[in-house]
Protein backbone atom coordinates (compact mmCIF):
# COMPACT_ATOMS: atom_id res chain seq x y z
CA UNK A 1 0.00 0.00 0.00
CA UNK A 2 1.39 3.43 -0.93
CA UNK A 3 1.42 6.29 1.58
CA UNK A 4 -1.23 8.07 -0.47
CA UNK A 5 -3.60 5.13 0.07
CA UNK A 6 -2.99 4.89 3.81
CA UNK A 7 -5.62 6.40 6.12
CA UNK A 8 -4.58 8.69 8.96
CA UNK A 9 -7.14 9.53 11.66
CA UNK A 10 -6.71 12.13 14.37
CA UNK A 11 -9.05 14.04 16.67
CA UNK A 12 -8.69 16.85 19.17
CA UNK A 13 -11.02 18.02 21.90
CA UNK A 14 -12.52 21.53 21.61
CA UNK A 15 -11.58 22.50 25.15
CA UNK A 16 -9.85 25.76 26.00
CA UNK A 17 -7.42 27.80 23.94
CA UNK A 18 -4.93 26.16 21.60
CA UNK A 19 -1.25 26.65 22.34
CA UNK A 20 1.90 26.71 20.26
CA UNK A 21 2.49 23.20 21.61
CA UNK A 22 -0.86 22.01 20.18
CA UNK A 23 -0.02 23.61 16.85
CA UNK A 24 3.52 22.29 16.46
CA UNK A 25 2.76 18.94 18.06
CA UNK A 26 -0.41 18.14 16.15
CA UNK A 27 -2.08 20.69 13.88
CA UNK A 28 0.93 21.61 11.73
CA UNK A 29 1.60 17.91 11.26
CA UNK A 30 -2.03 17.43 10.21
CA UNK A 31 -1.61 20.11 7.56
CA UNK A 32 1.57 18.55 6.22
CA UNK A 33 0.10 15.04 6.12
CA UNK A 34 -2.75 15.98 3.78
CA UNK A 35 -0.70 15.70 0.60
CA UNK A 36 0.73 12.27 1.44
CA UNK A 37 -2.14 10.39 3.12
CA UNK A 38 -5.90 10.06 3.09
CA UNK A 39 -6.63 12.19 6.15
CA UNK A 40 -9.70 12.09 8.39
CA UNK A 41 -9.82 14.63 11.23
CA UNK A 42 -12.41 15.37 13.92
CA UNK A 43 -13.27 17.72 16.73
CA UNK A 44 -13.92 15.24 19.55
CA UNK A 45 -16.70 17.10 21.36
CA UNK A 46 -18.22 13.87 22.75
CA UNK A 47 -15.01 13.35 24.70
CA UNK A 48 -15.07 16.92 26.01
CA UNK A 49 -18.29 16.50 28.01
CA UNK A 50 -16.61 14.14 30.50
CA UNK A 51 -15.90 17.51 32.14
CA UNK A 52 -18.85 19.89 32.67
CA UNK A 53 -19.15 22.58 29.98
CA UNK A 54 -21.07 25.84 29.80
CA UNK A 55 -23.41 25.17 26.81
CA UNK A 56 -23.16 28.59 25.11
CA UNK A 57 -19.42 28.80 25.61
CA UNK A 58 -18.94 25.21 24.44
CA UNK A 59 -20.99 25.79 21.28
CA UNK A 60 -19.00 28.91 20.40
CA UNK A 61 -15.66 27.23 21.16
CA UNK A 62 -16.43 24.35 18.76
CA UNK A 63 -17.03 26.85 15.94
CA UNK A 64 -13.93 28.83 16.88
CA UNK A 65 -11.73 25.77 16.91
CA UNK A 66 -13.11 24.56 13.58
CA UNK A 67 -12.28 27.98 12.10
CA UNK A 68 -8.81 27.95 13.66
CA UNK A 69 -8.00 24.54 12.21
CA UNK A 70 -9.02 25.74 8.74
CA UNK A 71 -6.85 28.83 9.27
CA UNK A 72 -3.94 26.53 10.17
CA UNK A 73 -4.24 24.81 6.82
CA UNK A 74 -6.70 21.94 7.24
CA UNK A 75 -8.33 21.82 3.81
CA UNK A 76 -11.84 20.30 3.61
CA UNK A 77 -11.24 19.71 -0.11
CA UNK A 78 -8.27 17.45 0.68
CA UNK A 79 -9.41 15.94 3.98
CA UNK A 80 -12.52 14.97 5.88
CA UNK A 81 -12.82 17.26 8.92
CA UNK A 82 -16.01 16.77 10.93
CA UNK A 83 -17.54 17.39 14.34
CA UNK A 84 -17.74 14.08 16.22
CA UNK A 85 -21.19 14.52 17.81
CA UNK A 86 -22.72 15.04 14.35
CA UNK A 87 -21.70 11.51 13.29
CA UNK A 88 -23.88 9.08 15.29
CA UNK A 89 -21.77 6.02 14.46
CA UNK A 90 -19.10 7.06 16.98
CA UNK A 91 -21.39 6.79 20.01
CA UNK A 92 -22.90 3.53 18.70
CA UNK A 93 -19.61 1.76 18.08
CA UNK A 94 -18.25 3.28 21.29
CA UNK A 95 -20.91 1.40 23.29
CA UNK A 96 -20.32 -1.83 21.40
CA UNK A 97 -16.57 -1.64 22.01
CA UNK A 98 -17.11 -1.01 25.73
CA UNK A 99 -18.47 -4.54 25.77
CA UNK A 100 -15.16 -5.78 24.33
CA UNK A 101 -12.98 -3.73 26.71
CA UNK A 102 -11.96 -5.17 30.05
CA UNK A 103 -12.54 -3.24 33.28
CA UNK A 104 -8.91 -3.82 34.26
CA UNK A 105 -7.69 -2.28 31.00
CA UNK A 106 -9.67 0.90 31.60
CA UNK A 107 -8.65 1.11 35.26
CA UNK A 108 -4.98 1.17 34.23
CA UNK A 109 -5.35 4.25 32.03
CA UNK A 110 -3.14 6.97 33.53
CA UNK A 111 -5.24 9.80 32.06
CA UNK A 112 -8.29 8.53 33.99
CA UNK A 113 -6.27 8.66 37.19
CA UNK A 114 -4.95 12.15 36.41
CA UNK A 115 -8.34 13.59 35.43
CA UNK A 116 -10.02 11.99 38.45
CA UNK A 117 -7.68 13.96 40.68
CA UNK A 118 -8.36 17.20 38.80
CA UNK A 119 -12.16 16.69 38.76
CA UNK A 120 -12.73 14.82 42.02
CA UNK A 121 -16.33 16.12 42.22
CA UNK A 122 -17.25 14.59 38.84
CA UNK A 123 -15.63 11.17 38.36
CA UNK A 124 -18.24 9.96 35.88
CA UNK A 125 -18.56 6.75 33.85
CA UNK A 126 -17.73 8.61 30.63
CA UNK A 127 -14.36 9.64 32.07
CA UNK A 128 -13.64 5.99 32.79
CA UNK A 129 -14.93 4.55 29.50
CA UNK A 130 -13.88 7.16 26.98
CA UNK A 131 -10.83 5.16 25.73
CA UNK A 132 -13.39 2.75 24.20
CA UNK A 133 -14.99 5.68 22.39
CA UNK A 134 -11.54 6.77 21.27
CA UNK A 135 -11.03 3.28 19.86
CA UNK A 136 -14.32 3.59 17.98
CA UNK A 137 -13.22 6.94 16.53
CA UNK A 138 -10.15 5.28 15.02
CA UNK A 139 -11.52 1.87 14.03
CA UNK A 140 -14.59 3.23 12.22
CA UNK A 141 -12.35 4.58 9.45
CA UNK A 142 -9.91 1.65 9.12
CA UNK A 143 -7.10 4.01 10.07
CA UNK A 144 -3.65 2.67 9.27
CA UNK A 145 -1.87 5.38 11.25
CA UNK A 146 -2.75 7.60 14.22
CA UNK A 147 -0.57 10.61 15.12
CA UNK A 148 0.08 10.32 18.85
CA UNK A 149 2.00 12.16 21.52
CA UNK A 150 3.58 10.43 24.47
CA UNK A 151 0.41 10.94 26.55
CA UNK A 152 -1.76 9.07 24.02
CA UNK A 153 0.38 5.98 23.36
CA UNK A 154 -1.43 4.03 26.08
CA UNK A 155 -4.83 4.72 24.52
CA UNK A 156 -3.66 3.67 21.07
CA UNK A 157 -2.28 0.45 22.52
CA UNK A 158 -5.69 -0.22 24.06
CA UNK A 159 -7.31 0.44 20.66
CA UNK A 160 -5.00 -2.15 19.12
CA UNK A 161 -5.89 -4.65 21.87
CA UNK A 162 -9.63 -4.11 21.33
CA UNK A 163 -9.26 -4.53 17.56
CA UNK A 164 -7.23 -7.72 17.99
CA UNK A 165 -9.77 -9.10 20.47
CA UNK A 166 -12.74 -8.41 18.20
CA UNK A 167 -10.92 -9.78 15.14
CA UNK A 168 -10.00 -12.89 17.12
CA UNK A 169 -13.66 -13.58 17.94
CA UNK A 170 -15.38 -12.61 14.66
CA UNK A 171 -12.66 -12.69 12.00
CA UNK A 172 -10.93 -9.76 10.30
CA UNK A 173 -13.08 -6.70 10.87
CA UNK A 174 -10.84 -3.87 12.05
CA UNK A 175 -7.53 -2.58 10.75
CA UNK A 176 -5.09 -2.61 13.68
CA UNK A 177 -3.61 0.92 13.63
CA UNK A 178 0.04 1.88 14.05
CA UNK A 179 1.30 5.05 15.77
CA UNK A 180 2.57 7.92 13.65
CA UNK A 181 5.08 10.02 15.57
CA UNK A 182 6.44 13.22 14.02
CA UNK A 183 10.22 13.62 14.07
CA UNK A 184 10.20 17.16 15.51
CA UNK A 185 7.77 19.23 17.51
CA UNK A 186 5.84 16.29 18.89
CA UNK A 187 6.42 17.54 22.42
CA UNK A 188 6.79 21.28 23.04
CA UNK A 189 7.77 22.07 26.60
CA UNK A 190 7.01 24.96 28.96
CA UNK A 191 9.08 28.09 28.29
CA UNK A 192 9.61 28.46 32.05
CA UNK A 193 10.05 24.84 33.11
CA UNK A 194 11.34 22.60 30.28
CA UNK A 195 10.66 19.49 32.37
CA UNK A 196 6.90 20.06 31.84
CA UNK A 197 4.83 19.99 28.66
CA UNK A 198 3.56 23.40 27.49
CA UNK A 199 0.06 23.78 28.95
CA UNK A 200 -2.62 26.45 28.71
CA UNK A 201 -3.44 25.80 32.38
CA UNK A 202 0.08 26.71 33.58
CA UNK A 203 -0.09 29.25 36.41
CA UNK A 204 2.92 31.08 34.95
CA UNK A 205 1.60 33.19 32.06
CA UNK A 206 5.08 33.28 30.46
CA UNK A 207 5.27 29.48 30.22
CA UNK A 208 2.76 29.08 27.41
CA UNK A 209 2.34 30.74 24.01
CA UNK A 210 -1.29 30.77 22.89
CA UNK A 211 -2.25 30.67 19.23
CA UNK A 212 -4.09 34.00 19.53
CA UNK A 213 -1.38 35.87 21.48
CA UNK A 214 -0.40 39.11 19.73
CA UNK A 215 3.12 39.71 18.41
CA UNK A 216 4.33 41.77 21.39
CA UNK A 217 3.16 39.18 23.90
CA UNK A 218 4.84 36.37 21.95
CA UNK A 219 8.15 38.25 21.77
CA UNK A 220 8.10 38.98 25.53
CA UNK A 221 7.44 35.33 26.36
CA UNK A 222 10.40 34.14 24.29
CA UNK A 223 12.72 36.81 25.66
CA UNK A 224 11.86 35.54 29.17
CA UNK A 225 12.22 31.86 28.20
CA UNK A 226 14.46 29.70 30.38
CA UNK A 227 17.62 28.35 28.69
CA UNK A 228 20.54 26.87 30.69
CA UNK A 229 23.83 27.93 32.28
CA UNK A 230 25.80 27.72 29.02
CA UNK A 231 25.86 30.36 26.32
CA UNK A 232 26.29 28.43 23.05
CA UNK A 233 23.28 27.67 20.86
CA UNK A 234 23.88 23.92 20.83
CA UNK A 235 21.38 21.06 21.01
CA UNK A 236 22.32 18.95 24.03
CA UNK A 237 19.48 16.39 23.99
CA UNK A 238 19.16 16.77 27.75
CA UNK A 239 15.69 18.31 27.96
CA UNK A 240 17.06 21.79 28.64
CA UNK A 241 15.38 25.08 27.81
CA UNK A 242 17.74 25.66 24.90
CA UNK A 243 16.86 22.21 23.50
CA UNK A 244 13.19 23.20 23.65
CA UNK A 245 13.81 26.51 21.85
CA UNK A 246 15.91 24.84 19.15
CA UNK A 247 13.12 22.29 18.65
CA UNK A 248 10.53 25.06 18.30
CA UNK A 249 12.73 27.03 15.88
CA UNK A 250 13.40 23.91 13.80
CA UNK A 251 9.71 23.03 13.66
CA UNK A 252 8.64 26.54 12.63
CA UNK A 253 11.39 27.23 10.08
CA UNK A 254 12.02 23.71 8.77
CA UNK A 255 15.75 24.12 9.42
CA UNK A 256 17.81 21.19 10.71
CA UNK A 257 19.45 21.31 14.13
CA UNK A 258 22.93 21.42 12.58
CA UNK A 259 21.89 24.33 10.32
CA UNK A 260 20.51 26.20 13.34
CA UNK A 261 23.72 25.65 15.33
CA UNK A 262 25.75 26.96 12.38
CA UNK A 263 23.43 29.97 11.92
CA UNK A 264 23.91 31.07 15.53
CA UNK A 265 27.57 30.16 15.91
CA UNK A 266 29.26 32.88 17.95
CA UNK A 267 25.92 34.45 18.93
CA UNK A 268 24.33 34.42 22.38
CA UNK A 269 21.02 33.30 23.78
CA UNK A 270 19.57 36.81 23.51
CA UNK A 271 19.94 36.84 19.72
CA UNK A 272 18.58 33.32 19.45
CA UNK A 273 15.52 33.92 21.64
CA UNK A 274 14.68 37.00 19.57
CA UNK A 275 14.97 34.95 16.36
CA UNK A 276 12.74 32.19 17.75
CA UNK A 277 10.13 34.74 18.81
CA UNK A 278 10.15 36.42 15.40
CA UNK A 279 9.84 33.07 13.61
CA UNK A 280 6.82 32.14 15.76
CA UNK A 281 5.21 35.55 15.18
CA UNK A 282 5.69 35.17 11.40
CA UNK A 283 4.02 31.75 11.63
CA UNK A 284 1.06 32.69 13.83
CA UNK A 285 0.00 36.18 12.69
CA UNK A 286 -1.20 35.05 9.21
CA UNK A 287 -3.11 32.21 10.90
CA UNK A 288 -4.78 34.73 13.23
CA UNK A 289 -5.83 36.88 10.28
CA UNK A 290 -7.33 33.89 8.42
CA UNK A 291 -9.12 32.82 11.61
CA UNK A 292 -10.84 36.24 11.85
CA UNK A 293 -11.93 35.96 8.22
CA UNK A 294 -13.48 32.51 8.84
CA UNK A 295 -15.28 33.70 11.99
CA UNK A 296 -16.80 36.48 9.91
CA UNK A 297 -18.12 33.86 7.48
CA UNK A 298 -19.75 31.18 9.64
CA UNK A 299 -21.95 30.08 6.71
CA UNK A 300 -18.81 28.73 5.06
CA UNK A 301 -17.82 26.88 8.25
CA UNK A 302 -21.25 25.22 8.39
CA UNK A 303 -20.98 24.26 4.73
CA UNK A 304 -17.56 22.63 5.38
CA UNK A 305 -18.51 20.56 8.40
CA UNK A 306 -21.82 19.44 6.89
CA UNK A 307 -20.02 18.16 3.79
CA UNK A 308 -17.46 16.34 5.95
CA UNK A 309 -20.23 14.94 8.17
CA UNK A 310 -21.85 13.27 5.16
CA UNK A 311 -18.51 11.85 4.01
CA UNK A 312 -17.72 10.54 7.50
CA UNK A 313 -21.17 8.97 7.82
CA UNK A 314 -20.84 7.20 4.47
CA UNK A 315 -17.58 5.51 5.56
CA UNK A 316 -18.43 4.84 9.20
CA UNK A 317 -21.96 3.50 8.65
CA UNK A 318 -20.53 0.81 6.38
CA UNK A 319 -18.07 -0.29 9.07
CA UNK A 320 -20.70 -0.13 11.82
CA UNK A 321 -23.09 -2.31 9.77
CA UNK A 322 -20.32 -4.87 9.28
CA UNK A 323 -19.69 -4.95 13.06
CA UNK A 324 -23.40 -5.30 13.86
CA UNK A 325 -23.84 -8.13 11.36
CA UNK A 326 -20.89 -10.06 12.77
CA UNK A 327 -22.20 -9.70 16.33
CA UNK A 328 -25.61 -10.94 15.25
CA UNK A 329 -27.82 -7.87 15.43
CA UNK A 330 -30.88 -7.83 13.19
CA UNK A 331 -30.22 -5.23 10.49
DSSP 4: G
DSSP 190: P
Q: What is the largest CA-CA distance in the chain?
A: 73
Q: How far is the C-alpha of 219 from the C-alpha of 278, rounded, in Å?
A: 7
115 assigned to active site = yes
Q: Catalytic one among 6, 117, 118, 197?
A: 197
197 assigned to active site = yes
| 3-state secondary structure (DSSP) of residue 146 | strand
Q: How far is CA 241 from CA 53, 160, 274, in A?
A: 35, 35, 15
Q: Catalytic one among 77, 78, 153, 200?
A: 200
- The residues near 170 (Cβ < 8 Å, ≥ 6 apart) are 326, 327
DSSP E strands in the chain: the ranges are 7-12, 38-43, 80-83, 145-147, 178-180
Q: How far is CA 66 from CA 60, 81, 138, 310, in A?
A: 10, 9, 20, 17
Q: How far is the C-alpha of 271 from the C-alpha of 269, rounded, in Å?
A: 5
| 3-state secondary structure (DSSP) of residue 189 | strand
Pairing of strands 178-180, 7-12: unpaired
Q: How far is the C-alpha of 26 from the C-alpha of 12, rounded, in Å?
A: 9
Q: Catalytic one among 6, 28, 77, 115?
A: 115
- ∠ CA 157-158-161, rounded to 5°: 90
Q: How far is the C-alpha of 69 from the C-alpha of 201, rounded, in Å?
A: 21
Catalytic residue annotation: 115, 197, 200
Amino acid sequence: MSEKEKVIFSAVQPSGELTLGNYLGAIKNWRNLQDDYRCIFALADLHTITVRQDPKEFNHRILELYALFLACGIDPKKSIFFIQSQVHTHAELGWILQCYTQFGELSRMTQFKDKSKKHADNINAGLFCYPSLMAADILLYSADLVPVGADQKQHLELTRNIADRFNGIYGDTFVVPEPYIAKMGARVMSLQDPSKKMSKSDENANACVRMMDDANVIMKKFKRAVTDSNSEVKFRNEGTGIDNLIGIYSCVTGKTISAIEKEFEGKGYGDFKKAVGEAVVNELIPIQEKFKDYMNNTDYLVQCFKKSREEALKISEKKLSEVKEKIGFVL
